[in-house]
Chain A
Amino acid sequence: MQPIEIDQLQQYIDAFANKEVYIHLETTNGAYASHFNKDAYNAGAFIRNAQVTYQRGKIVGAGSTYRVGLKLEIGWIYAEGVSQYELDKNNRLLMAGHDREGRLMVALQISETPFKY
């Protein structure tokens, strides 16, 4: 993955618009958050292979973290805290944000074929 170049990533997002795509979306602070810190809560959400079509996708932000929003016909998808991306060899668009220790905090991925499950 590489740090976000907003113009290039916007082009990638545009290329998946108005197509049936599969979405992977997750955010987590890990299963150990409240184990290591009594005042912390474990919270996270995960969806893999949601099938959607978005009319418009947009990346907004500056510096090191960005937000990506996808406008659906009857709803929305967004991810906050994205800082890196990659178009992988299977033409899947992977976007993610990591903390200082390299741990994943958020991921939004778009593919025209289902993600391996």
Chain B
Amino acid sequence: MGEHVVVIYPHPDDEAFGAAGTITTFREKGIPVTYLCGTLGEMGRNMGNPTFATRETLPEIRKAELIKACEVLDIHLEMLGYRDKTIEFESTEDVAAHLFQFLNEIKPSLVITHYPGHAVHPDHNAFGAAAIRAVEMFPAAERPTVWAQAISNTHVEELGGPDIENDVSDRISKKLETIMAHKSQADGMLKSVKEEADDIELATKQWLGVESFYTWEFN
């Protein structure tokens, strides 16, 4: 079985901020990458800056942004149809079974997701937990490696340092292009960086230049 990376995050733009550099590195090696994106970020607070979206137009806008971002990264996209901010109220087993259908079809060598309990947003924690549960549905010998991304303020203190630290500073222009594809979300965030820094590439390199993960240990 060849290599295939599956990225499992709940929101359009999680892949951009969290793993765009790592994904680019895989694509450069010709390794296929599939993004299982849980929601359309329907409940996002960012409406563009100045605002151009409303609560009702945001889903279609973010869907178009997500499709564009996946074109920039040259990855395959599946939109799973959950609603933003509600994943933790779904049945973990049902979500895991849904994810497993995709994983069982793809048979990935690596799964990238959020570290449950250390991913800040309730959707991140819940979708990460469901992703890990889905991987557990494979017999132990057939399980792909899982890289779990922690973003809590306390993760280093509580878990120790991450074992995977990808320096993606030389992929930063691709990462920025992916982030920019999510215009409704990026406007506000990048504006504050721009205001404080003369050189946006240099500033983002410091902010976004490393993507780190914990290799999940199944027991």
B-contacting 9-mer, from A11-19, A51-59, A71-79, A94-102: A94-102
Contact status of A103 and B188, CB under 8 A, knowing A1-B54, A86-B54:
yes
Residue A30 at the chain B interface, CB threshold 8 Å:
yes
Residues of the B chain whose Cβ atoms lie less than 8 Å from the Cβ of A115: 56
Residue A28 at the chain B interface, CB threshold 8 Å:
yes
Contact status of A102 and B54, CB under 8 A, knowing A31-B121, A35-B153, A46-B85:
no
Shortest distance between the CB of B53 and any CB in chain A (Å): 9
- Complex Cα distance, B195 from A50, in Å, reads 42
Q: Mark A18-58, 1 if CB is under 8 A from B, else 0.
A: 00000010101011100100000000001000000000000
Shortest distance between the CB of B138 and any CB in chain A (Å): 31
Q: Mark B105-125, 1 if CB is under 8 A from A, else 0.
A: 000000000000000111100
Residue A88 at the chain B interface, CB threshold 8 Å:
yes
**Which of A30, A98, A117 has a CB less than 8 Å from the CB of B47?**
A98
Residue B156 at the chain A interface, CB threshold 8 Å:
no
Are A102 and B187 touching (Cβ within 8 A)? Answer: yes
Size bin of chain B's contact surface: 20 to 34
- Complex Cα distance, B153 from A94, in Å, reads 36
- Complex Cα distance, B131 from A13, in Å, reads 45
Are B152 and A35 touching (Cβ within 8 A)? Answer: yes
Size bin of chain A's contact surface: 20 to 34
Residue B51 at the chain A interface, CB threshold 8 Å:
yes
Residues of the B chain whose Cβ atoms lie less than 8 Å from the Cβ of A32: 120-121
Are A102 and B48 touching (Cβ within 8 A)? Answer: yes
Contact status of A102 and B120, CB under 8 A, knowing A46-B85, A96-B55, A109-B56:
no
- Complex Cα distance, B152 from A6, in Å, reads 43
Contact status of A94 and B187, CB under 8 A, knowing A46-B43, A101-B49, A102-B48:
no
16 of the cross-chain contacts (CB-CB < 8 Å) are: A26-B43, A32-B121, A35-B120, A35-B152, A46-B85, A88-B54, A88-B56, A94-B54, A101-B46, A101-B192, A103-B47, A104-B45, A104-B47, A105-B45, A109-B56, A116-B56
Known contacts A24-B55, A28-B45; 12 additional CB pairs below 8 A are: A26-B43, A26-B55, A31-B85, A46-B85, A94-B56, A96-B54, A101-B188, A101-B191, A101-B192, A102-B46, A102-B49, A103-B47
Q: Give the 8 A-B CB pairs with smallest separation, nearest first.
A: A102-B49, A103-B45, A101-B188, A31-B121, A102-B51, A104-B45, A35-B120, A107-B55
